[in-house]
Amino acid sequence: MAAKQCVYPPTQEEPSDVYPPPQSSSDVYPPPTSKIQALFARGTDPEIIRAFEAYDEDGNGSIDDEELQKALSTADLSYSIRTVRLLMFKFNNINCTRIGPKEFTTLWHDLQAWRSIFEKFDRDRSGTIDNMELRDALRQLGCAVPQPVLQLLLTKYDRTGEDIGIDYDSFIECGLIVKGLTQKFKEKDKRRTGTATLTYEEFMLTVLPFIVA
Ligand SMILES: [Ca+2]
Ligand SMILES: [Ca+2]
């Protein structure tokens, strides 16, 4: 193998289609300060790369749960550390409180999807999700949740305690848990009957990661 083609990160002599492009011009953005850019898949939206670099406050090349929580939260919208950890939970093949560029790209798209589901099903534009809106949103996620379960979710996630509905942060948490647990249950319901047999150990191992996220 020609040694030149294995050089990492690419140098100015590399062909012009290497990513990131050789930064010969001072107006290239993002500025030529980070090797992080090279770790993203080719064609990644530059906005995602810029966000990663901004979120990675300590500059260690990964985003931890606290960095993500701080970066996502704005004056109008706060994310609980629990929601942030649940968002990271899907990457549980690695340390799920720390993600790199690849996982961050997936998470970025996940957040866009959550936002669009929330906006689609908050039909009255109240900024919260009520009973019927939740039912339909969960159905879109593939979960036909029975009414008593819906009521329990609303009771638990309506933080106001005044039947106003579920806010955006809680909606993501609720959706991640319902979708995740439904998926786990489905894996045990091989014949798709709506019934499954789980041992005590399986039940505990399934449910606990969602509770202690
Ligand atoms: Ca970091
Ligand atoms: Ca609403």
* In a domain? residue 17: no
Of 213 and 37, which is predicted with more confidence?
Answer: 37
Its pTM surpasses 0.75: yes
> Which ligand minimizes its atom distance to the CA of 68?
1
Q: So what's the pLDDT on residue 19?
A: 63
* In a domain? residue 18: no
Q: How far is the CA of 25 from the centre of ligand 1 (A)?
A: 28
**Which residues have their alpha-adjacent CB atom under 5 A from ion ligand 2?**
122, 124, 126
Q: How far is the CA of 92 from the centre of ligand 1 (A)?
A: 18
* In a domain? residue 104: yes
Residue 110: partners with Cβ closer than 8 Å, 6 or more residues away: 87, 90
Q: How far is the CA of 9 from the centre of ligand 1 (A)?
A: 21
44: left (phi over 0), alpha (psi -120 to 50) or beta: beta
Q: How far apart are CA 155 and CA 166, in angstroms?
A: 9
- Number of separate domains in the chain: 1
Which amino acid, residue 183? Q
Helix, strand, coil abundance in the chain, percent, nearest 5: 50, 5, 45
* In a domain? residue 22: no
Residue that the structure tokens 């919260």 belong to: 128
198 token code pair: 């789980």
* In a domain? residue 28: no
Q: How far apart are CA 151 and CA 98, in angstroms?
A: 34
Which amino acid, residue 73? S
The pLDDT tens digits of the residues spanning 124-147 come to 999 999 999 999 999 999 999 999
The pLDDT tens digits of the residues spanning 140-192 come to 999 999 999 999 999 999 987 777 899 999 999 999 999 999 999 999 999 99
* In a domain? residue 25: no
| Whether pLDDT at 69 is above 90 | yes
Q: Print the domain residue range for 106.
A: 42-192+199-211
- CATH number assigned to the domain comprising residue 157: 1.10.238.10
